[in-house]
Structure 1
Amino acid sequence: MSKRKKFLKKKMQDYVDRTAPLRNLHCELFPEEYDHVYDSIADAQDRARGVSPMRQEYIDKVNARRRKVGVKPYELKDNSPEIDVLNMESEVMINSWEYCQKVLNGEIEKGVKCNAI
């Protein structure tokens, strides 16, 4: 292996090691963002057409949990509650990655609402 490849491999491994705690916490707190990984072929085709294979009940439950901790809704459908539609563009709500970073930095406790502004 060339010196350049060794260098790049080391840099990539350093990045993976450094970001592992954030990625692991994100997977733990927001598993809905990884649902697409387990899609069937039909589900993947639906998503490609812009149709979510998730049931509205599941989406509402997930968005209610996210709302409680001050995180923007994950996915919206035509019949999603109005509060989730309004929170999508809200300056007060943060995204899930920002929330995880604040937890790791000790700015907030896991499961506690974040006051973004």
Structure 2
Amino acid sequence: MNTMSVQLPEGELTFEQDVQMVMSNLPVPDPCWRLTDEQGHEHHYASGPDRYPTLTAKQGDVYWCEDCRDEHQDSWYVCRTCGERITPGTRIDTTPRWLGGPALYYLNGKPISQERANELLTR
């Protein structure tokens, strides 16, 4: 539990929040990824909204999955020039991230709302 306090004219305002470090270990786009397809067209990762400027995203038909009892739709990338199916490179994200739980606020040891705490802090 992380605790911070500040002394105000109204008294001591205390903020408590449980914080945990988590690591996703999920695949993310590899910013170093580069590939030359069978036709010699070069592909790469680019930062920004268009991550793969030489590729076009395609989607298959929606289908029903009996295992999870839900609809799915497969997607993939193809070269914009020749249509070859391309799988961009990924890496595992091992960046630690801090996730906070619910925050608790106290004025002189008595619970108050976040709105009241913010009001006190903005005075």
TM above 0.5, yes or no, is no
Query: Which has more radius of gyration?
Result: 2
Higher fraction of helix: 1
Q: Which has the higher contact order (CA 8 A, sep 6+)?
A: 2
* TM-score under structure 1 length normalisation: 0.25
What is the TM-score when the length of structure 2 is the normalising length? Answer: 0.25
